[in-house]
Amino acid sequence: MISVENIIKASYRLNGIVQITPLQHNPNLSERHQCNVFLKREDLQPVRSYKIRGAYNRMLNLTPEQAQQGVVCASAGNHAQGVAYACQQLGIQAEIYMPTTTPSQKIRQVERIGKNFVHVVLAGDTYDAAYSAAQSYCDAQKKVFIHPFDDSDVIEGQGTVAVDILNTFKGDIDYLFVPIGGGGLSAGVGTYFQRLSPKTQIIGVEPMGAPAMKQSLEKNERIMLEAMDNFVDGAAVRRVGEINFDICKNVLHDIVLVPEGRICTIILQLYNEDALVVEPAGALSIAALDFYADKIKGKNVVCVVSGGNNDIERMPEIKERSMIYEGLKHYFIINFPQRPNALLDFLSNILCNGEDIAVFQYTKKNNRSIGPALIGIEIQQRSDYESLLQRLDEHKIDYKIVNNDQKLFEYLI
């Protein structure tokens, strides 16, 4: 279905349209993991993600009649921008379906890129609902649907990332880490590497909350996720593509699941240490290095940074998720006795090792002997947590750990 020859043709077809993005050696990551880490910077594409490759390649393969009729797609992010860019450059009209919950910033970005060639349609509260509405409209109007991943032209377009890497890198690549959403990038890149760099270990990376490809490969059939954490919105799909699944079965050597909290830590590290702005899906491949630490020592490692469309309004949530995952922020319900100086005693006896109160919610109720307060405490390092609990017990503080109660945590935090 997908051939190396067609990936090479797509590379020539896209020459001068997409950027040959840098393959940059990263000293910080290399030192941390004791290997040679190179970042394939797809966040530097005109639409800040690799999605432009597949979308544009698919659009270039339309017949004149199909182009005249116009196209349809469904996306809440990078694929929509890739289609919009191709439409604006090629003069093709597009109906782009997005969920009603899509942030206005993303909608404006698609409209800005596509200019007068794009009409954004908001439909449904989820991507699946928007996708269904787009398919219905497409069938009724007999237009071409530009699928975000389950399409041979799209996969071959994404595979041109591999052409860039192998044309740029001098030497052998031991490990290639590739983020997986629907599987278009991993299928295209894996196909090319399997032929031209067969010794390279291709490691797919999925977010822990959306393991559609891993579970499908384990069951040897495409499964539909019943529940999904869509925080890593660029790589969270309920079901991977059919073509993609068949290819990934043969080209991937392993799949790593990365907790969303760890992804957030990597986003912050890249920003603070390297001045790189990446989206959650863009940090996936780098976050996976922690889980391959022993195997990659002394090796040449390439991580595909798939995109950099990160909304600055998400940064507080990213920092929160990171601190909780790293064990640096803990929430408690503290039952304070309703007497004078109860809070002062708590501060003096419990928070005496550099801890900081980040959240405090309390309402005094005069008709009760105790009053519960929600307190978020930040600590200096993970190992400080046990001594904090020890002081709570020693001073007979009535407390409940909110982090350990998932339902309570989701409700309160």
Please give the positions annotated as active site: 51, 306
Please spell the DSSP secondary structure of 150-193, one letter per residue: SSHHHHHHHTHHHHHHHHH--S---EEEEE-SSSHHHHHHHHHH
What is the rounded CA–CA span in Å between residue 215 and residue 301?
A: 25
The residues, ordered by sequence, that sit 6+ positions from 193 with a Cβ below 8 Å of its Cβ are 162, 166, 176, 200, 202, 251
How far apart are alpha carbons 24 and 20 in whole angstroms? 12
State phi, psi for 15 to the nearest 5 degrees: -60, 125
* CA end-to-end distance (rounded Å), the chain: 47
Instruction: Give the Å distances, CA to CA, from 50 to 55, 56, 79, 208.
Output: 9, 11, 9, 22
Q: Which of 394, 410, 393 is nearest to 402 (CA)?
A: 410
**134 and 144 in contact (C-beta within 8 Å)?**
no
- The alpha helices in 326-413, defined as continuous H runs, are 342-349, 384-394, 406-412
| Strand order from edge to edge, sheet including 254-258 | 23-25, 36-41, 300-305, 175-179, 201-207, 254-258
CB neighbours (10 Å) of residue 285?
Answer: 28
Give the 3-state secondary structure of residue 258. strand
Contacts of residue 110, defined as CB under 8 A and 6 or more positions apart, other chains included, come to 80, 81, 84, 96, 98, 118, 120
| Residues paired with residue 371 on neighbouring β-strands, in sequence order | 336
Contacts of 175 (CB under 8 A, 6+ apart): 200, 201, 203, 292, 295, 296, 299, 300, 301, 302
* Bridge partners, residue 300, by sequence: 36
Structure tokens at 314: 């998400």
Closest C-alpha to 260, from 236, 239, 227: 236
